[in-house]
Amino acid sequence: MSYARKWLAAAGLITVLGLSGCQDLSDDLSPDGGDQRPEVAAGSAGSQVSQLAPLFTAVDSLGVTHTLAGELATVDGVVLYFTMWCPTCDSHMSHIRSSLMVNFPNVTFLIVDYVTGSMAVSRAAQLANGYAGFTVLVDTALSLHKDFDGGMGVTVVIDSSGIVQFNEDYKDGVKVRATLEALP
Amino acid sequence: MKSVVLKAALFAGAATLFSSQAQAASCCGGGASSALVLPKFSTAMVDVSFDIEQYDGFWNNTGHHNSDPPGSDLSQYRLNAGYAHRIASRWQASVIMPYVWNNNQHSRGLSTNSDGLGDTRINLWYEAFDGVTCVWKVRKPADLKPAAYFGTTLTVPTGVSLYDDVAYDTDITGLGFYRLDATIFLEKTIYPWNASLLLSYGKYLERAVNRERGHYVEPYDKNLGDRQLVTVSAGYTVFLDSMNTVTYTLALSDLKEDEATIDGRINETSGMKKRSAALIAAYSTMDRDWVFKATWNHALDRDGWGENFPTTNVLTLGVSHVLR
């Protein structure tokens, strides 16, 4: 019994030390729902909402070069979706295809592959996952990932004047759709 | 590839979430149940196990299995420390704390490594029986009565989730949500055979989110869907000359999580299903005070065996020590 008490005390101590030593834990144990988005100057350069998006140049999985300026010249907006070919990404991309692409024909949808590292592997993943019809930008140098603070499921909407209108996780797509409907 | 959520373990843990567990004893001691269960008449139990989880593609939301891109090597390792304590003749409580290491190589482009505390599970079990229910021979109907446990588990989000300050999704070690599970666990041993059934239903607690992957966003409320788990197992015990035992068990699990909600709306891109099978070998000393276990949990990389979830294989090595 004395052994048991010692083990229990040790487990409790480890728990307390572990919790108190990790600041990040409090984010989940007691979530803060306050709006902590940093204030940014509208029209300044950056990837946050209201900022002027970085004018990127990227190559897709077929070797075709795309520029943001070139894309925006002919459409109402550009959507970037960051994928790592995972189940969540697949679910989002499937939703983009069925719910957004058909309803917003004057918007360009670009998938950003930031994990495969080569055109050949990216193209193979694109085909294997059933997205042959998508344009997949191969972010070999992670430049798009850095410029737009990208990550799995991150979706960026840029309007025709180059202003970022949305930069968050895709989630259920409702806010992305609302953003596209409100494009100038 | 891994979905963090899920490890959940997503991702995680999914974490963290869905690994096999080699933390068990049984009503009689020395068994191979799938939960951290203290044998009857024991005071306490210490359990340590190590999981090696390897990712092997994923099922999409229609159940089609996709492979990971060539060159991907995604792994998660977990050291699980568990302690169970008898608090009354029919009541026992336990806590399981994992420490998680993520080691991921994505094709040729990106490599990420991280480690940290996983989500902690706190269990409370009620035993609906007073004596050991394991028998050698069925002589009367009462000998068929199984050991019945009714339990509840609180998962505490002590891991690092998507909503913390993480750079990559693959860095997370927890889900970020509290969850409360209600579990029924039935177990019967008629030597040398044993069988068990575990039914579990879990509800997550809705939380506020104002950050995704270290990036502050417009705040919203999110909840994951209800979680249902069914595990059945059957095993056979071999008695060695020393009267030590080796128990071999086959377990089948079916796990389902309903769709998540965002600000109360159903998120059609979420939810998951996973079926898996596990082979367990448990070596127990004659007095049942020490149990050494090896578990191979395998998910079939075939269409229809899961939805919207990573396919993984998990090797678990563990040891339990019962304090009388």
Residue A75: which CATH number?
3.40.30.10
Residue B235 is part of which domain span?
44-323
Q: Which residue of B has its CA nearest to A123?
A: B69
* Residues A131 and A85 reside in one and the same domain: yes
- For residues A107 and B76, give the distance between their C-alpha atoms in angstroms, rounded to a whole number: 39
Inter-chain contact A14–B97, Cβ cutoff 8 Å?
yes
List chain A residues with CB under 8 Å of B66.
Answer: 85, 90, 128-129
Q: DSSP letter string over chain A?
A: -HHHHHHHHHHHHHHHHHHHT-TTHHHHHS---S--PPP--TTSBSSSTTSBPP--EEEBTTS-EEEHHHHHTTSSEEEEEEE-S-HHHHHHHHHIIIIIITT-TTEEEEEEE-SS-SHHHHHHHHHHTT-TTSEEEE-TT-HHHHHTT--TTEEEEEETTSBEEEEEE-TTSHHHHHHHHT--
Residue A3 is part of which domain span?
1-32
Domain-embedded: residue B20 = no
- ipTM of the prediction: 0.83
* Residues A18 and A63 reside in one and the same domain: no
Q: Which of residues 26-65 of A touch B (CB under 8 A)?
A: 27-29, 31-38
Domain-embedded: residue A51 = no
List chain A residues with CB under 8 Å of B68.
Answer: 85
What is the DSSP-derived secondary structure letter of residue B74?
E
**CA nearest to B299, candidates B318, B319, B277:** B277
Domain-embedded: residue B15 = no
Inter-chain contact B110–A117, Cβ cutoff 8 Å?
yes
Tokens of residue B282, six digits: 């448990």
Domain-embedded: residue A50 = no
pLDDT computed for residue B171 by the predictor: 85
> Which among B1, B70, B210 has the least Cβ separation from residue A35?
B210
Domain-embedded: residue B16 = no
A114 in contact with B, Cβ within 8 Å = yes
* Residues A108 and A176 reside in one and the same domain: yes
Q: Which residue of B has its CA nearest to A12?
A: B95
- Which of A15, A20, A23, A24 best tests the B interface by mutation, with the highest count of B CBs <10 A? A24
Domain-embedded: residue B105 = yes
Distance from CA of A160 to the nearest CA of B (A): 23
Domain-embedded: residue B21 = no
* Residues A3 and A71 reside in one and the same domain: no
pLDDT computed for residue B19 by the predictor: 35
Domain-embedded: residue A136 = yes
Inter-chain contact B97–A18, Cβ cutoff 8 Å?
yes
List chain A residues with CB under 8 Å of B60.
Answer: 87, 90-91, 94, 129
* Residues A61 and A28 reside in one and the same domain: no
> Which among A4, A35, A121 has the least Cβ separation from residue B85?
A4
- For residues A161 and A52, give the distance between their C-alpha atoms in angstroms, rounded to a whole number: 8
- For residues B47 and B36, give the distance between their C-alpha atoms in angstroms, rounded to a whole number: 8
- For residues B63 and A165, give the distance between their C-alpha atoms in angstroms, rounded to a whole number: 34
A81 in contact with B, Cβ within 8 Å = no
Q: Which residue of A has its CA nearest to B158?
A: A25
Domain-embedded: residue A167 = yes
* Residues A3 and A84 reside in one and the same domain: no
Q: Which residue of B has its CA nearest to A33?
A: B208
Apex B298 CA angle, B47 and B186, nearest 5: 55
* Residues A66 and A148 reside in one and the same domain: yes
Inter-chain contact A1–B43, Cβ cutoff 8 Å?
yes
List chain B residues with CB under 8 Å of A118.
Answer: 107-109
> How many CB pairs (< 8 A) connect A and B?
206
Is-contact B132 B76, C-beta < 8 A?
no
Per-residue pLDDT of chain B (324 residues; tens, 9 = 90+): 334 333 333 333 333 333 334 344 556 655 444 468 888 889 999 999 999 999 999 999 999 999 888 888 889 999 999 999 999 999 999 999 999 999 988 876 678 899 999 999 999 999 999 988 889 999 999 999 999 999 999 999 999 999 988 877 788 999 999 999 999 999 999 999 999 999 999 999 999 999 998 889 999 999 999 999 999 999 999 999 999 999 999 999 999 999 999 999 999 999 999 999 999 999 999 988 999 999 999 998 899 999 999 999 999 999 999 998
SS3 B98: strand
Distance from CA of A68 to the nearest CA of B (A): 23
For residue B19, which amino acid is it?
S
Distance from CA of B118 to the nearest CA of A (A): 10
List chain B residues with CB under 8 Å of A95.
Answer: 268-269
* Residues A8 and A72 reside in one and the same domain: no
* Residues A6 and A91 reside in one and the same domain: no
- Which of A6, A20, A51, A84 best tests the B interface by mutation, with the highest count of B CBs <10 A? A84
**Strands of the sheet with B215-223, listed across from one edge:** B207-212, B215-223, B261-262, B265-266
Q: How many residues does chain A have?
A: 184
Domain-embedded: residue B29 = no
Inter-chain contact A118–B308, Cβ cutoff 8 Å?
no
The CATH number given to whatever domain includes residue B250 is: 2.40.128.130
List chain B residues with CB under 8 Å of A3.
Answer: 44, 323
* Residues A102 and A11 reside in one and the same domain: no
* Residues A71 and A9 reside in one and the same domain: no
How far out from the chain centre does Cα B1 lie? 20
- Total domain count for chain A? 2
Domain-embedded: residue A109 = yes
Domain-embedded: residue A16 = yes
List chain B residues with CB under 8 Å of A31.
Answer: 163, 176, 207-210
The beta-strand segments (E) located in B191-289 are 193-204, 207-212, 215-223, 227-239, 245-257, 261-262, 265-266, 272-284
What is the DSSP-derived secondary structure letter of residue B68?
P
- Total domain count for chain B? 1
pLDDT digits (tens, 9 = 90+) for A42-64: 999 999 999 999 999 999 999 99
pLDDT computed for residue B7 by the predictor: 38
- For residues A36 and B214, give the distance between their C-alpha atoms in angstroms, rounded to a whole number: 11
A154 in contact with B, Cβ within 8 Å = yes
* Residues A66 and A18 reside in one and the same domain: no
Domain-embedded: residue A132 = yes
For residue A89, which amino acid is it?
C
pLDDT computed for residue B17 by the predictor: 32
Domain-embedded: residue A40 = no
List chain A residues with CB under 8 Å of B108.
Answer: 116-118, 121
A6 in contact with B, Cβ within 8 Å = no
pLDDT digits (tens, 9 = 90+) for A158-180: 999 999 999 999 999 999 999 99
Inter-chain contact A88–B97, Cβ cutoff 8 Å?
no
A73 in contact with B, Cβ within 8 Å = no
pLDDT computed for residue B24 by the predictor: 46
